[in-house]
Structure formats: structure tokens, C-alpha cells
Amino acid sequence: MEVGGIQALRRWRAEQSGRVGLVPTMGALHSGHQALMTRARAEADLVVTSIFVNPLQFGADEDFVQYPRPIEADLQKCEEAGVDFVFAPALAEMYPSAPEVRVVAGRMGAVFEGAARPGHFDGVLTVVAKLFTLIAPDVTVFGLKDIQQFCLVKRMIADLNFDIELIGLPVVRDGDGLAMSSRNEYLTGPDRERALAIPRALDAAADVAAGPAEVEAAARAVLEGAAARGDLEVIYLSLVDAADLRQCTPDFRGSALLLVSANVGGTHLIDNLPLEF
């Protein structure tokens, strides 16, 4: 496994032939990330994982400086997953100066997570576009836990004509049902128990054999019950069209996403459930 910045990547990339898969990350890797790498390995001859904490997607009051950067542990996880090249550029390599030109996420990036974090998805898409340009992958694998991000990357690939196959890996969950996330490290034991109301709400929705309104109501009942007990603060719960993230109407038919966001003990968690009507 090779590790390097832009120049090392370019030298390595020029020497390779075959299908290349990319798994973009900000590090602090866990088994969910390794699952993405394993899927990329199944889809490509060579796998590149990027580890770069992207400042453009952090707000002024967010934890860019404190974001965990356990690089040695991350490299070990990449090696275990069979990664061929770890792209780990320095900040000054990726942004020699403040970028004047950026990708704008538009309406889809201004709702839900984007409403709470203005400009976040502009930063995400800008760095992903840079990774696509530098690495030139044939296929890229994203986790579907961050489903709004996945939808925006899918739209960017279409709108900007990137010749890249996008694969979404279903949410990877721990044994208790909580979606794997680097943020789970911030949960205390009691907070983790409280956070399980989120997957329980999604399970309740999945068990309802009815229309959009009834499905959303089933999940809302679980979350509002948890909120009434003081277990969490619901940020949003919404059933949306998977194609454009617009709210589903009562007579909606097609692919939908039930989106959930909540604060548990000061930790912001997101989750989602794909549904068909």
C-alpha cells in the first residue's frame, strides 16, 4: 500500500492500468468505512481511499480543529481492507489559497442538513469534484447513511458529466441497530441507549403497510415519545422523494427516503430508511 499527496498520487496513477475505485473519507475510520473499501475492491482492480479533513464543509462554529485525525490507525484499517493507495494530501496542497471557484449544491443542498449548516454541501461537492479530477476513478463508493450527500454527489456527476459510476452502500449498523458513525464516539453509554430511538423509529415506519402519511406518522410517534422523555431533540423527520428530496405527497408513488436527524446529549446524529410506495 502506498501513501502520499498529489505528486505521489499522479506518479502512481500514471503507472496503473485497470479499473480504479475511490472511497473518499475524512479519516477517523471504522468498520463502516472498511465495508466501503471492500465493496470498491469488488468493483475495481485498484482501490484508492482519500483521507482529508476538508475545511470547506465546516461552519465557523464547527469542530474542524478538533476533528479526530488518528492517521496511523486509519492507515492500518486501509491496509486491512486491501487499499492500494491512500491519498492523504496536506491542506496546503488541496487549497494553496482560499478557493474563489466552488461547486454550488443548489436547492438540494440547502434543505435538511444543509439548512442547519449553510454552505456545508458546497464544500463537500467542491472537494469531491477535486478528488474526481485528481484521481480519475472509474467507480466511487459512498455510504448511504449520509443520504443527502449521496443524492447530491449523484446529481453533480450527472450535471457536470463526470464519467464515474456511483455506488451506494446500505447503512452499516452496530449490533444494537445504531448506524455506524464517527460521531458515535461522542456518545456516553446512557446517550447511546437514548439514541436507539432513532433506529426504532425507522423500524416502526418499515412495519407499516400503508401510505406515506401513515409511514411518517409511525416514525414520528416513536421519536416524539423519546423527545417527551428528554432522550433526544428531534431536528427533522421527513419523508421525501428520493430523486429530488422534495416532501412526499399523500398520494406519492415511487422511491422515497425517510430522513431523521436528532441531537442526543449534544451529538448530532442522522439516519434514513429507503421505502417504495
Instruction: Give the residue numbers of the binding site for ATP.
Output: 26-33, 143-146, 172, 180-183
Name the binding residues for (R)-pantoate.
57, 149
From the list 20, 33, 248, 256, the catalytic residue is: 33
Q: Which residues lie below 8 Å from residue 25, measured CB to CB, with a gap of 6+?
A: 33, 36, 49, 50, 51
Per-residue b/e over 160-191, b at no fewer than 16 CB within 10 Å? eebebeebbbebbebeeebbbbbebebbeeeb
Is 268 catalytic? The answer is no
Sheet containing 233-241: give its strands across.
233-241, 255-264, 267-276
DSSP labels, 215-248: HHHHHHHHHHHHHHTTS-EEEEEEEEETTT-PBP
Q: Nearest 5°: CA angle at 41, between 39 and 42?
A: 65
Residue type, 236: Y
Quick one: which of 235, 239, 224 has its CA closest to 274?
Answer: 239
Residues of each annotated binding site for beta-alanine: 57
Residues 6+ apart with CB under 8 A from 239: 212, 215, 216, 247, 248, 256, 257, 258, 259, 275
At 256 the three-state DSSP class reads strand
**Minimal CA–CA distance to 113: which of 260, 273, 265?**
260
Catalytic residue ranges: 33
